[in-house]
Amino acid sequence: MNNILKIASKTLLISSFIFLTTACGESAYDDTIDKLDKKYSADINYINAVNNSSTFYAKSNLYLRDVYHGDFEVVKLLAAGVSGSITHKWSSHGHKFEFATEDTNSGANTTDVRFDLTNQANYWAVAWLNNNNDTLSIFQKKTSSVSGVFSVRIFANANLTVKILGNATNFTNTVAGQVSETYTVESCADLYVGGNEIDLCQQANFGQSYLVVVDSDGLITYAKE
């Protein structure tokens, strides 16, 4: 074997050894993190407001493996799907989380975001289309229930007008990717966003709070805060 082949073979062996050592070390380290006392937690409901089925992932910053590793898969949701409340736990200093989504059908990674969770807090994680690009927004839930009316916050992917029938107030337009203030709606068909009627009659109950997710074409979905 000439010197060039010997050098190439040695380089390949060293590269393989480094790869295997790194992978094993990563796995061993993450196994150790798994065994730590996870006394902190937060609850998150996931919403898929993109056009395709999406898979959501989440991991604490303490883990070395990539967020798209199967161990960090949280939930799969069809378009307009809303998950139940899912508890995320972490040990000391592990509150910095990475969240990500993936197209369930193609397996293509779509977006990821880092967010600091607060112990005992409740959140929404919304996958939405920002100029046709998948985006993920995370924000705290807010319950502002008032007897006899609907309390509604709006999450939209565009700047849209807000109107409530019977209310002459000039409400502030929605801001793309930001949750609105809480609106009081007296009838389930009184809310209009971007000129589209937001019908709460099917599932909403008076006296409860809701997050309404919309785009320029109208309602995508809504869920109780």
pLDDT tens column, 184-209: 999 999 999 999 999 999 899 999 99
What are the per-10-residue average pLDDT scores of the chain (225 residues)?
40 38 69 93 98 98 96 98 98 97 95 97 98 96 96 98 96 97 96 97 95 97 97
User: What pLDDT shows up at residue 24?
Assistant: 53
- Which CATH number characterizes residue 136's domain? 2.60.40.4150
**How far is it, in rounded angstroms, from Cα 39 to Cα 134?**
33
Tell whether 78 is covered by a domain: yes
Cβ-based neighbour number of residue 223 at 10 Å: 17
**DSSP H or E stretch at residue 27:** helix 3-35
Tell whether 54 is covered by a domain: yes
User: What pLDDT shows up at residue 166?
Assistant: 94
Shared-domain flag, residues 114 and 174: no
- Given the DSSP bridges, would you call strands 122-130 and 40-49 parallel, antiparallel or unpaired? parallel
Shared-domain flag, residues 210 and 121: no
Contact (CB, 8 A) for 158 and 128: no
**DSSP H or E stretch at residue 33:** helix 3-35
Shared-domain flag, residues 31 and 44: no
**How far is it, in rounded angstroms, from Cα 178 to Cα 13?**
51
Last-in-domain residue among 122, 140, 158: 140
Shared-domain flag, residues 44 and 30: no
Distance of CA 29 to the CA centre of its chain: 27
Shared-domain flag, residues 157 and 136: no
Shared-domain flag, residues 88 and 102: yes
Range of the domain at 24: 1-35
Tokens of 117: 């969770």
Shared-domain flag, residues 178 and 207: yes
Shared-domain flag, residues 25 and 59: no
Shared-domain flag, residues 159 and 217: yes
Tell whether 64 is covered by a domain: yes
Tell whether 145 is covered by a domain: no
Question: For the chain, how many structural domains are there in total?
Answer: 3
User: What pLDDT shows up at residue 62?
Assistant: 96
CA atoms within 13 A on the CB side of 125: 34
DSSP state of 105: T
User: What pLDDT shows up at residue 202?
Assistant: 86
Shared-domain flag, residues 135 and 203: no
Last-in-domain residue among 105, 140, 175: 140
Tell whether 167 is covered by a domain: yes
Contact (CB, 8 A) for 117 and 90: yes
Which residues face 59 on adjacent strands?
98
Shared-domain flag, residues 11 and 82: no
Tell whether 203 is covered by a domain: yes
Shared-domain flag, residues 21 and 57: no
pTM: 0.87
pLDDT in tens, 18-50: 344 344 567 899 999 999 999 999 999 999 999
**How far is it, in rounded angstroms, from Cα 123 to Cα 128?**
16
